[in-house]
Amino acid sequence: MKRILVTGGAGFIGSHLCARLIEDGNDVICLDNFFTGTKENIIQLMDNHHFELVRHDIIEPYRAEVDEIYNLACPASPIYYQHDAIQTIRTSVMGAINMLGLAKRVHAKILQASTSEVYGDPSIHPQPESYWGNVNPIGMRSCYDEGKRCAETLFMDYHRMNKVRIKIIRIFNTYGSRMLPNDGRVISNFIMQALYNEDLTIFGTGQQTRSFQYIDDLIEGMVRMMNTEDDFTGPVNIGNPQEFTIRQIADIIIKLTGSKSKIVYKQLPMDDPQQRQPDITLAKEKLHWEPTVNLEQGLKSMIDYFRKAEF
Ligand code: NAD
Ligand code: UDP
């Protein structure tokens, strides 16, 4: 049994990860400031004596004797991470320093939940880990993109200078149960709009692309990455290479929900990437991992969840 700290553990991805780690027989400390996470997300774990919940902001130091740390704390949806851009950077940068400091003190292995946003609006397609990206340092998305890039730098420097055992994964767009109905990201927005027969809001022309992975595939990839040999740090892309235009996503969700919704077009937000698709050659080779859930299967189960949830 390992003692594992999950920062951002009450969020969408974190809550699934906590459940999986407990299922695997570990003791889990879930640390969260509840900015976008909720107690409802982890309510089914509250009675489990292998689970502990701590209200804490990772911009402040935190101490605990743990064997592994998954560092997920950071809002991921553009409307939330732009709500207080400075707090977002503090979370990514000071949070990384605090968690790396903890890992160093207690000799824990630490995994960073980085993002495909480090590639910005990519000019290479699909994106391999060797691509350095095309990121605007002064735009509306920069607090998130540059914060996450700086966190990757910090992880590598703690590894090089202090021999901290680190792992970096670059997560591509992920969806599934426990996303907030008002999360603001495209899949949850479209499903909620479709279920209420409201207009689906496409930003821009809808010809921009994304590649969406289902939450269960991501969790499997994260755990496999944490369990790789110490000399393998990543970064590794974790995503589903099936690529769709946003217009296609809208059409599929209208079809799967049987909705009467129409599509309306709104202004494209600043610096919205035009294309995104992971090259997952490295994940296949090093983690023996690839996604198993296709978009239609994953959307059906998320639609079921949103139908049953009482929002
Ligand atoms: P989320 O917003 O649901 O979860 C983030 C969690 O972190 C929330 O519970 C929030 O309350 C908590 N948090 C935020 N700031 C904090 C702070 N300063 N101290 C403590 N807790 C804090 O988002 P998510 O989709 O679950 O994303 C989790 C991680 O995965 C994030 O780091 C995100 O950047 C990364 N990621 C997610 C995606 C995706 O598609 N969901 C893609 C790439 C990367
Ligand atoms: N998007 C959209 N309508 C919405 C929400 C998002 O058309 O209601 C678009 C958004 O402009 C982007 C894509 O969908 O091009 C994915 O957006 P999301 O916020 O989910 O993720 P990210 O842009 O961070 O990849």
62, 144, 175, 214: which one is catalytic? 144
Q: pLDDT band at residue 311, thresholds of 50, 70 and 90?
A: confident
**35 located within any domain:** yes
Predicted local confidence at residue 149, as pLDDT: 98
Percent of the chain past pLDDT 90, that is, above it, reads 98
Please indicate whether residue 78, judged by its CB atom, sits closer than 6 Å to ligand 2. Answer: yes
Phi first, then psi: what are they for 208, rounded to 5°?
A: -65, 150
Distances (CA, A) of 99 to 19, 37, 95: 21, 19, 6
CATH number at 59 reads: 3.40.50.720
**307 located within any domain:** no
Pocket mutation for ligand 1, best pick of 6, 13, 180 (most atoms within 8 Å of C-beta)? 13
Q: Which residues span the domain enclosing 110?
A: 3-175+213-239+277-292
Please say if 144 is a catalytic residue. Answer: yes
**202 located within any domain:** no
pTM attached to this predicted model: 0.97
pLDDT digits (tens, 9 = 90+) for 214-233: 999 999 999 999 999 999 99
Q: How many domains does the chain have?
A: 1
Q: Tokens at residue 166, please?
A: 């680190």
Please indicate whether residue 82, judged by its CB atom, sits closer than 6 Å to ligand 2. Answer: no
**13 located within any domain:** yes
**257 located within any domain:** no
Please indicate whether residue 75, judged by its CB atom, sits closer than 6 Å to ligand 1. Answer: yes
Kindly report the average pLDDT of the chain as a whole number. Answer: 97
CA–CA distance, 290 with 293 (Å, rounded to integer) = 10
Residue 310, pLDDT > 80, answer no
CA–CA distance, 51 with 6 (Å, rounded to integer) = 11
Predicted local confidence at residue 84, as pLDDT: 96
pLDDT digits (tens, 9 = 90+) for 167-179: 999 999 999 999 9
**281 located within any domain:** yes
Predicted local confidence at residue 18, as pLDDT: 98
pLDDT digits (tens, 9 = 90+) for 122-166: 999 999 999 999 999 999 999 999 999 999 999 999 999 999 999
Kindly state the average pLDDT of the residues 26-37.
98
Please indicate whether residue 198, judged by its CB atom, sits closer than 6 Å to ligand 2. Answer: no
**302 located within any domain:** no
The ligand with the least distance to the CA atom of 276 is 2
Strands 109-115 and 166-171: parallel
CA–CA distance, 95 with 89 (Å, rounded to integer) = 9
Kindly state the average pLDDT of the residues 50-75.
98
Predicted local confidence at residue 243, as pLDDT: 97
Ligand 1 atom nearest to CA at 185: 40
CA–CA distance, 186 with 224 (Å, rounded to integer) = 28
Q: pLDDT band at residue 309, thresholds of 50, 70 and 90?
A: confident
163 C-alpha to center of ligand 2: Å?
38
Predicted local confidence at residue 222, as pLDDT: 98
Predicted local confidence at residue 3, as pLDDT: 98
**232 located within any domain:** yes
